Structure 1
C-alpha cells in the first residue's frame, strides 16, 4: 500500500501543470474546472528528495524512489508493468481467511494486475456497455 501511495502521490504532482494544457471539449471529456489552480511545473526529483530528508514520510522505499527520479525524472526506462511476487496475494488470502479488512492491500494488488494489461478484457466490456447504453465512442489512445 505504501508503494502505491508514493506512486499515486507523485503521479498527482506530475500532473500539477494540467491547467496549462489544451483540453478536448466534447461529451466524452469532463472539463477541467478551475484550470488556474493547476499551473505548476514541479521538479519531482527535488520533491522526492525533500520528502526523504525533511518530512515524516521518510523511508528506505522513498530513498530508492528519489534515487530513481534523480537518475531519470520521467522514468523513461520503465514501461509501468508491475509484477507481484506473491507476498501481496498471500497476505490478502490470509486477510480473507481471518476476516480482516485489507482494502488498501487488495487495491494495490489489483492495480498491479491492471498495469500488466490483465484487465484489458474487462475494460473492453466496460467500453462496449458505454457504447450500447449511450453511444459513447472510444477515443483513440494518446
Structure 2
C-alpha cells in the first residue's frame, strides 16, 4: 500500500521505516530538511500520491496538528483519508472529522504506543473511526502492530482511539509512579544494601514483573542509583484530560491523580521517585531527561 507520512520525528520516522520494511511505499514529509524527508512541502506530498489518498500524520497535538489538518483540508480531494496518529484530544477528533467530512475527506484517529521500541517490536494501536475507513488502512495497521493476537483494537467511532490512548497513558502514570516510589523506599532504607539488585531480582517470578520493571532495571544498570538523573519528570496533557473526564463520569482515579501531582511537584523538588520516573520515560519513549 502507498501512504504519506507527515512528521518524521522520533515516532514518525520509525513507523515509516517499519512500513517500508513490511513492503509498503511511504512518502515522508517533515518541516525539517534534516529529517530525511522525501518531499519538501505538503503540496508535493499530496501530488506524489494517487487518489484516493491515505496520509498518516504524526505531529504534536495543539497548533501543529490544527495547522496540518487545516492545510490538508484545502489540498486533499473527496474520498481521501487522513490518519491522526498523534496525541490529539478526543473531543478535537470529532471537530476535525466534522470539518474534513464536509469536504468529503475521512478521518481515523489512532492512539499509538511503544515509543522508540516500536520499529522492531511493533506498536500498540488504538483506532477510532468508521468501519469503512479503518478497513481501508488495515494493511498498514497490520504491519505496524506487533506480531500475534494482540496490539490492535478498533475501539469505536471517531475519537475512540485517542480516548483509549488517553486512558492508557493515565494507567502508565500510575504504574511508573508505583515502581518509582518503591525504588525510592529501597534507596532510603538503611537495611537494604543494594537496592538496584533488589529491583533486578523482581524481574522473574514476581507478581510485579513487567516490561516497565525491566526498563527500570536496565536504567539502574546503566546509571547505578540513578546518580546522574535529575528528579524532574514532565507531564503530558493526556492524563489531565483523563482525570477531567473521569470526574465528569463519576469514576474515582486517586492513584493516577496522585501520579500527576507528583510530576507537577517534581518541577519544584528533586525526589528520587522522579529520578526513576524520568529514567523510565527515557527508556520506553526516548523522552529527554535532565542530567545532574
Bin of the TM-score, shorter chain as denominator length: 0.5 to 0.7
**Cα distance, 1:93 vs structure 2:** 1.0
- Residues in 2 aligned to 1:96 and 1:58: alpha-carbon distance in whole angstroms: 31
Give the alignment of 1:45-64 within 5 angstroms: 45-64=196-215
Are positions 1:106 and 2:257 aligned together? yes
Q: What is the CA-CA distance between 1:107 and the residue it aligns to?
A: 0.6
Matches within 5 A, 1:1-142: 1-17=174-190, 40-117=191-268
Distance in structure 2 (CA, Å) of the matches to 1:97 and 1:81: 30
Give unmatched runs, 5+ long, in structure 1: 18-39, 119-142
Q: Number of residue pairs matched? A: 96
Higher strand share: 2
1:127 alignment partner in structure 2: none
CA distance in 2, matches of 1:107, 1:85: 14
Contact residue 44 and residue 73 of structure 1 kept, 8 A: no
> 5+ residue gaps in structure 2?
1-173, 270-292
- Tell me how far apart the structure 1 counterparts of residues 210 and 238 of structure 2 sit (CA, whole Å): 20
Determine the C-alpha separation between the residues in 2 that align with 1:67 and 1:54.
18
CA distance in 2, matches of 1:47, 1:54: 13
Aligned CA RMSD, in angstroms, stands at 1.4
How far off is 1:54 after superposition? 2.6
Shift, 1:74, TM fit: 1.8
Rounded Cα–Cα distance in structure 2 between residues aligned with 1:58 and 1:113: 27
2:246–2:252 CA contact under 8 A, matched in 1: yes
TM-score of the two chains, using structure 2 as the length reference: 0.32
Q: Does the 8 Å contact 1:52/1:62 carry over to 2?
A: yes
Q: Which runs of 4+ in 1 moved over 6 A?
A: none
Q: Which has the higher contact order (CA 8 A, sep 6+)?
A: 1
SS in 2 for 1:70: helix
What is the deviation of 1:113? 0.3
Structure 1, residues 46-88: CA drift from partner, whole Å, max 9, x if none?
Answer: 1111111230101111010000111112212211111112221
